Amino acid sequence: MSSPAQTFTASSRSVQAQARDAGAMARRSVQITAQLLKYTLAPALFVLTWEMLPRLGIVNPVFFPPFSRVAQAGWHLTVTGVLPRNACASIMRAVTGLCLATVIAVPLGMLISASRTVSDMLSPLLEAFRNTAPLALLPVITLVLGIGEVSKVTMVVYAAFWPILLNTISGVRGVDPVIIKAGRAMGLSPANLLLRITLPATLPTIFTGVRLALAATFLVLIAAEMVGARAGLGYYLNVAQANFQIPEMYAGILALSGLGLLSNGLLFWAGVRLRIVQWRNVK
């Protein structure tokens, strides 16, 4: 039983609720637009400047072609398969190198940090290696291994190895001693302590190491490909420059930064999915 007055209040309330919902939706879309603007504004301005400066003659369009010319060249290179082929060559080397480096550095780092004495003994050597720019080894590696795939992958392994190794070591040192103690009290064997407690507790730090290694990987790979290669983005950049294909050269650079962004994003996404990053960040 409802009196007309009650019906009236009820319906007016629902009208109010609808109005509230509509208001909330409007606010929400404004928020989304604002967010979108916040993140696209700077890149948009950058592209605009890039486009305008050569067109207005402020910079030399021969050396700095406008963005639209570069985009055109990039599209052409993509369709003809030049860019994908070279990118593929680079990606293969990067992935192989990074994976090899991880597979070697993580167990080695765990082993080194298992003993304080060993890690103290090795630390001056590790510091020296870490502070030697990997590119300094490029002539050596070229000398010994030539200019084939092996030498390029070796360069990547070397460059990616150090951040992963050092992060693994510092990660193991940073493991909360009380969870190790808890594991010991549960009667876990030393091997199980390492695999079931130390390793998972160190994963977030190792993961950070891999992300650092990724940046190092591209840096070294491009340089190695410039020195001597028959494919790869580094090789292509050099060739384009030598042939005075300036827009093509810029397109290659753009492809490289895109590749970097993509791989870093992929890695981060994988980290979140595997729950490696999350618990660390919340902490």
Partner 1 sequence: MSDIVFQSVCKIFPAVPARKGERDYTVLHDVSLNIRAGEFMCLVGPSGCGKSTLLDLMAGLDFPTDGTILIDGEPIKGPAASRSVVFQQYALMPWLSALQNVEFALEAAGVPRNRRRERALAYLRLVGLSDFAHRRPDQLSGGMKQRVAIARSLSVEPRVLLMDEPFGALDAQTREGLQDELLRLWHQSRQTIVFITHDIDEALYLGQRVAIMTRNPGHIAEIIDVPFSARRMETNVRRLPEFSALRHQIWRKLKPDALPPGTYH
Interacting residue ranges for partner 1, rule: CB under 8 A = 176, 178-179, 181-188, 192, 196-197, 200-201, 203, 275, 279, 282-283
User: At a CB cut-off of 8 Å and minimum separation 6, what does 130 contact?
Assistant: 162, 166
**Shortest CB 108 distance to partner 1, Å:** 23
Structure tokens at 72: 């055109």
**Shortest CB 114 distance to partner 1, Å:** 18
**Cβ closest to partner 1, residue 197 vs residue 224:** 197
**Cβ closest to partner 1, residue 230 vs residue 275:** 275
**Shortest CB 181 distance to partner 1, Å:** 7
**Shortest CB 276 distance to partner 1, Å:** 8
**Cβ closest to partner 1, residue 38 vs residue 283:** 283
DSSP-assigned letters across all residues of 126-155: HHHHHTS-GGGGHHHHHHHHTTSHHHHHHH
Burial 226-255 (b: 16+ CB within 10 A, else e): bbbbebbbbbbbbbbeeeebbbbbbbbebb
**Cβ closest to partner 1, residue 44 vs residue 186:** 186
Instruction: Give 175-178 contacts, CB < 8 A, sequence gap 24+.
Output: 175/201, 175/202, 176/201
The dihedral formed by the CA atoms of 150, 252, 236 and 220, expressed in degrees to the nearest 10: -30
**Cβ closest to partner 1, residue 9 vs residue 278:** 278
Q: Rounded to an integer, what distance in angstroms lies between the CA atom of residue 20 and that of residue 83?
A: 52
SS3 56: coil
DSSP-assigned letters across all residues of 201-261: HHHHHHHHHHHHHHHHHHHHHHHHHHHS-SSSHHHHHHHHHHTT-HHHHHHHHHHHHHHHH
**Shortest CB 270 distance to partner 1, Å:** 16
**Cβ closest to partner 1, residue 159 vs residue 203:** 203
**Cβ closest to partner 1, residue 273 vs residue 275:** 275
**Shortest CB 52 distance to partner 1, Å:** 49
**Shortest CB 212 distance to partner 1, Å:** 21
**Cβ closest to partner 1, residue 188 vs residue 254:** 188
Distance of CA 227 to the CA centre of its chain: 24
**Shortest CB 203 distance to partner 1, Å:** 7
Q: Rounded to an integer, what distance in angstroms lies between the CA atom of residue 35 and that of residue 5?
A: 44
